[in-house]
Structures are given as structure tokens and as C-alpha cells.
Amino acid sequence: MFDLVIGSGNRHKVAELRAMLPADRFRLTSLAELSDPLEVEETGDTFAENARLKATEQARHLGRWVLAEDSGLQVDALDGRPGVLSARFAGTHGDDAANNRLLLEQLSGVAIERRGAAFRCFMCLASADGTVQIEVDGGCHGRIADRESGSGGFGYDPLFVIPEYHLTFAELGPAVKNVLSHRARALQRLIPRLLKRVCQA
């Protein structure tokens, strides 16, 4: 078993990563399970920069391998916003309801054909000395609905419609989301390289 710290304090993201990483190959620990995790400031201008900061700084602090990610929503009609500010779009970090309200307000009057959007995810794996070992990204395209639908998921999931299904991520549920999502697609690229790296360790 390979010890790996999931460098996130977001319980929803941790749950998704736990569900998708092979449980028989990795002993996963979240930051919430540690007594002294580092509070890493997300000062990067891109998802890649923030993921790299969270992985490398946390790894050096803990002296352990860390997998970190940064992700968010980019809306075409808003020139890519909220982007790296997705979790604090409305001002308070993690206030999903306020973020969704603000997004709907800013898209008020925007025609459905102009409400295209994409979830983006960038993942970074750092070894115990803080050296970057693997970096991958993933994306998922959809559109923003004019109202929230569904009770599953988190963040912008009740507003993000997958065109092929005509349903939001919050309506589709975790089984489908864990195949189609930006985070799932990033992990699909990461896992083969991660398993190869574990075999070499």
C-alpha cells in the first residue's frame, strides 16, 4: 500500500477522489485527518499554479507524498469567470448557495446558446521533498441552466447541465459524475502514471 495525502480540506472533493482512486493500492489520508496540515494560500493565477502550490508546499511541510488539485468553473459569457475564484465567487469561500445566486444574476438575460461553460481540473502529485512528479488536467463541457435542479453534488453542480443527458450534475448523481466530470477525467490520466510510479517506489 502506498501512502498518499489528499491535499484538500473540501470533504466533497476528498470523497470523490476516494471513490475513484484504487483502494487496494493506496492508503489515503485527507488533510482533515491530520493534526498539523499547512494552510496553503492559493495565490496562483491559474488552476495549475494553485494545484502546484498546494501539492509542493504541503508535501514539504508534511514530509509525505501529496496529491492536490485546483478546479473551478469557466463560463463563456463571463469571459472565463469565475475561474480560480470559483469557490469564493460571491466573496465567502465555500458558500455554494451565494455563488450560484451570483452566477444566475450575472447570466440573467443571456440566451441559452450563449451559456456554454466548462469545469476545469488540474492535479499535481508531489513527492515528500516537494518535487513535482506528475501533473495532469481534465475538463468537462456543458452549459449553465437558468435555475438550480437536483439535490446531489456540490458547488455549481445544480446549475451545470450535461448536454448529452439534459440533466445537471446534481441530478445525474455520483456514479455518472465520477465518469464524466473534470476531476474524473484528470484522474483517468493520472492513475496509470501514478500506478507506474508506485511500482517504482
Return the C-alpha cell found at 81. 469567470
Q: Is 70 a catalytic residue?
A: yes
Annotated active-site residue in 3, 45, 70, 146: 70
| 3-state DSSP assignment of residue 172 | helix
Angle between helices 11-20 and 182-200 (to 10 degrees): 60
Q: Give the residue from 39, 53, 66 showing the smallest Cα distance to 133.
A: 66
Q: Which sequence positions are flagged as catalytic?
A: 70
